[in-house]
């Protein structure tokens, strides 16, 4: 068997995106996953494979990656090389400049769950096919069986649905034809439309209607590209989970934790004298409110007919503004109209998908960064929110926040019904509920602790008054004035990433 050269793509995008902003990293490949820089996970697996002779790590600033990984001993098979613009340009330039021999394996730095056995399976199956290029996929059936809540991009065929695994094997010089074919469209803002036209309007029309089999689709691609391309289906669904979103990293951490491949852990709070850090949720961690968007999300996905109640919802909101309804009544009425009486498990499943989408798209990167920095200091993290407990608990679980204080939902015979148990966790009631839940911790004489509270809204002034570090984030005008009147107050602008955070 010929030795294999690996091209490990580890460059950064022109715009960082939420994930890099949340970690204050230019290179996604250096974001920590399970206690190690992301790139080290696939790098260790590749270096351990006996067929791999050399690994070229490609990035715009290879010396920066080399320096960042110098303390981790990536191995003597590894060389850091400067990339050349786009991915297609980089691959072609690398093959020509370094006179690389085939076969060449290409993968990415975010392929954190790639194992030695997965590489072996891919190579064995790829070599049994006479094609010029083999591309790894996982089936939707296998992926969802292992990770029911995972969100991936699915490629629909008549006979199956697949998602990519970021593994490509170039087996002959003709494979360069496919790369040059992609190079033609790679930098075009309308690349997918142009690619669809190149493959043919009839092909594209049949593809979007799921009329093409996997074999027919790859046969057409091979004809147009001038090189034969074949899919390889991997048995391990984990390989399909690349670290492309915040929730992907949480999922990968969870998988690696089960396998014992976690290299850092938080100390139990009881073993530290760390501060208590309280976060509001809506418009403090998230960019928008969560309750009304979730009601619409649930109705749209489960009972679209309930959206017909939207005019009534608008009327109820006007009644609230006119003080004809209080927040508790408004919340209960909206729940009853747009959700009804769902089973508790069903509600949680839909809410989990909503929470994951929110964390990937609608949060302040600085909030995620600040939470993680406090975790490094072994602070006791608390989420105190007017959101219902079933939603707040899912947010807290994803963010690894220790304690949840939220509005209690009403559950009857396994179904969640409209209504609130006790008080809505808002204003003075929120302060009371916080002290009922963790009062001894806040008032401890033996272990006095700093108390931080991050919020956007002036309704939290009752609790902020009890903290020695009140922090206003993207605040209302009234809260901004109150914070400015406090010598220990702090105002932060989290609209702009990587600008302001408060951790001491």
448 belongs to a structural domain: yes
More confident residue, 376 or 459: 459
| Mean pLDDT rounded to a whole number for the chain | 90
CA dist 44 and 502 (Å) reads: 35
Whether the per-residue pLDDT at 268 is higher than 70: the answer is no
Q: Tell me the pLDDT tens digit for each residue of 372-431.
A: 999 988 899 999 999 999 999 999 999 999 899 999 999 998 999 988 999 999 999 999
State the average pLDDT over residues 332-339. Answer: 94
CATH for 384? 3.40.50.1000
pTM reported for the whole predicted model: 0.86
Whether the per-residue pLDDT at 206 is higher than 50: the answer is yes
Length of the chain: 504
Side-chain-side CA neighbours of 446 within 13 Å: the count stands at: 4
Residue 419's domain comprises 269-290+349-492
Q: Tell me the pLDDT tens digit for each residue of 30-55.
A: 999 988 999 999 999 999 999 999 99
Whether the per-residue pLDDT at 121 is higher than 70: the answer is yes
42 belongs to a structural domain: yes
What would the DSSP string read from start to end of 456-477?
A: S-GGGHHHHTT-SEEEEES--H
CATH for 234? 3.90.550.10
Cβ-in-10-Å burial (0-12, 13-18, 19+) of 486 comes to middle
Question: Are 238 and 131 contained in the same domain?
Answer: yes
What would the DSSP string read from start to end of 10-27?
A: ----SS-HHHHHHHT-S-
Question: Are 379 and 244 contained in the same domain?
Answer: no
Whether the per-residue pLDDT at 262 is higher than 50: the answer is no
- The whole-number pLDDT of residue 263 equals 46
CA dist 451 and 266 (Å) reads: 20
Question: Are 178 and 85 contained in the same domain?
Answer: yes
Is 321 in a helix, a strand, or coil? helix
CA dist 244 and 13 (Å) reads: 12
Question: Are 284 and 248 contained in the same domain?
Answer: no
CA dist 190 and 185 (Å) reads: 8
Question: Are 179 and 281 contained in the same domain?
Answer: no
- Edge-to-edge order in the sheet of strand 451-455: 415-421, 403-412, 380-388, 276-279, 451-455, 469-473, 490-492
Question: Are 12 and 122 contained in the same domain?
Answer: yes
Hey, what are 242's tokens? 């690349």
Residue written as token pair 């790098």: 43
Question: Are 254 and 276 contained in the same domain?
Answer: no
What is the number of structural domains in the chain? 2
Q: Name which of 98, 106, 34, 39 is nearest 66 in CA terms.
A: 39
Find all residues with CB under 8 Å of 29, minimum gap 6, and list them: 10, 12, 37, 38, 39, 59, 65, 109, 110
464 belongs to a structural domain: yes
Whether the per-residue pLDDT at 504 is higher than 70: the answer is no
Q: How confident is the model at residue 149 (pLDDT cuts 50, 70, 90)?
A: confident
State the average pLDDT over residues 65-80. Answer: 85
305 belongs to a structural domain: no
CA dist 110 and 116 (Å) reads: 16
Least confident of 224-228, 375-379, 409-413, 441-445: 441-445
Question: Are 276 and 238 contained in the same domain?
Answer: no
Question: Are 416 and 274 contained in the same domain?
Answer: yes
Cβ count near 236 (within 10 Å): 17
Residue written as token pair 């098979």: 77
CA dist 450 and 354 (Å) reads: 33
Least confident of 173-187, 210-224, 332-346: 173-187
Contact criterion met (CB below 8 Å) for 223 and 217 = no
Radius of gyration of the chain (CA): 26
Question: Are 367 and 478 contained in the same domain?
Answer: yes
Least confident of 113-122, 201-210, 439-448, 477-486: 439-448
203 belongs to a structural domain: no
Question: Are 360 and 235 contained in the same domain?
Answer: no
More confident residue, 215 or 195: 215
Least confident of 17-26, 337-346, 441-450, 473-482: 441-450
Q: Which of 254-258, 265-269, 283-287 has the highest mean pLDDT?
A: 283-287
Contact criterion met (CB below 8 Å) for 406 and 388 = yes
**CA distances for 293 relative to 140, 299, 332, 345, 376, angstroms:** 28, 10, 15, 20, 32
201 belongs to a structural domain: no
216 belongs to a structural domain: no
Which spans in 161-230 are helix H?
175-186, 191-199, 201-208, 214-225
Question: Are 276 and 245 contained in the same domain?
Answer: no
CA dist 358 and 293 (Å) reads: 10
State the average pLDDT over residues 185-207. Answer: 77
Instruction: Report angle CA 366, 368, 371 to the nearest 5 degrees.
Output: 105
Written in H, E and C, the secondary structure of 334-370 is HHHHHCCCCEHHHHHHHHHHHHHHHHHHCECHHHHHH
Whether the per-residue pLDDT at 64 is higher than 60: the answer is yes
């Amino acid at each position: 068997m010929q030795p294999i050269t690996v091209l490990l793509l580890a460059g950064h995008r022109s715009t960082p995106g939420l994930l890099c902003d949340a970690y204050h990293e230019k290179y996604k490949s250096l974001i920590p996953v399970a206690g190690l820089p992301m790139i080290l996970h696939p790098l260790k697996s590749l270096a351990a494979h006996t067929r791999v002779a050399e690994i070229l790590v490609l990035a715009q600033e290879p010396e920066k990656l080399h320096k960042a990984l110098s303390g981790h001993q990536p191995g003597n098979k590894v060389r850091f090389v400067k990339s050349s613009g786009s991915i297609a340009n980089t691959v072609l330039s690398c093959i020509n400049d370094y006179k690389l021999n085939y076969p060449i394996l290409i993968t990415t730095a975010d392929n954190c769950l790639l194992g030695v056995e997965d590489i072996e399976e891919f190579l064995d199956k790829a070599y049994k096919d006479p094609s010029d290029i083999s591309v790894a996929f996982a089936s939707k059936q296998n992926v969802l069986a292992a990770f029911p809540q995972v969100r991936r991009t699915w490629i629909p065929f008549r006979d199956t649905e697949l998602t990519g695994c970021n593994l490509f094997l170039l087996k002959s010089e003709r494979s360069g034809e496919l790369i040059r074919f992609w190079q033609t469209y790679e930098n075009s803002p309308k690349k997918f439309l142009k690619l669809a036209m190149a493959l043919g309007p009839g092909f594209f029309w049949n593809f979007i209607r799921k009329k093409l089999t996997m074999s027919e689709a790859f046969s057409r691609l091979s004809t147009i590209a001038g090189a034969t391309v074949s899919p390889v289906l991997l048995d391990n669904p984990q390989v399909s989970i690349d670290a492309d979103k915040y929730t992907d990293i949480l999922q990968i951490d969870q998988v690696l934790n089960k396998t014992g491949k976690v290299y850092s852990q938080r100390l139990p709070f009881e073993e530290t004298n760390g501060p208590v850090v309280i976060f509001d949720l809506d418009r403090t961690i998230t960019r928008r409110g969560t309750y009304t968007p979730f009601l619409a999300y649930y109705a749209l996905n489960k009972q679209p007919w309930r959206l017909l109640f939207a005019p009534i919802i608008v009327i109820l909101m006007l009644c609230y503004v006119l003080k004809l309804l209080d927040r508790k009544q408004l919340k209960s009425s909206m729940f009853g109209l747009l959700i009804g009486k769902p089973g508790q498990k069903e509600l949680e499943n839909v809410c989990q998908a909503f929470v994951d989408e929110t964390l990937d798209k609608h949060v302040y990167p600085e909030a995620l960064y600040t939470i993680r920095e406090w975790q490094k200091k072994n602070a006791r993290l608390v989420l105190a929110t007017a959101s219902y407990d079933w939603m707040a608990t899912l947010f807290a679980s994803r963010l690894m926040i220790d304690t949840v204080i939220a509005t209690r939902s009403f559950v009857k015979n396994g179904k969640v019904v409209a209504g609130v148990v006790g008080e809505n966790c808002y204003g003075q009631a929120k302060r009371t509920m916080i002290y009922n839940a963790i009062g001894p911790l806040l008032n401890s004489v033996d272990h006095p602790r700093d108390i931080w509270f991050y919020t956007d809204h002036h309704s939290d002034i009752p609790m902020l008054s009890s903290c020695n570090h009140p922090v206003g984030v993207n605040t209302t005008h009234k809260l901004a004035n109150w914070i400015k009147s406090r010598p220990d107050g702090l105002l932060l602008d989290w609209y702009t990433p990587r600008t302001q955070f408060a951790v001491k």
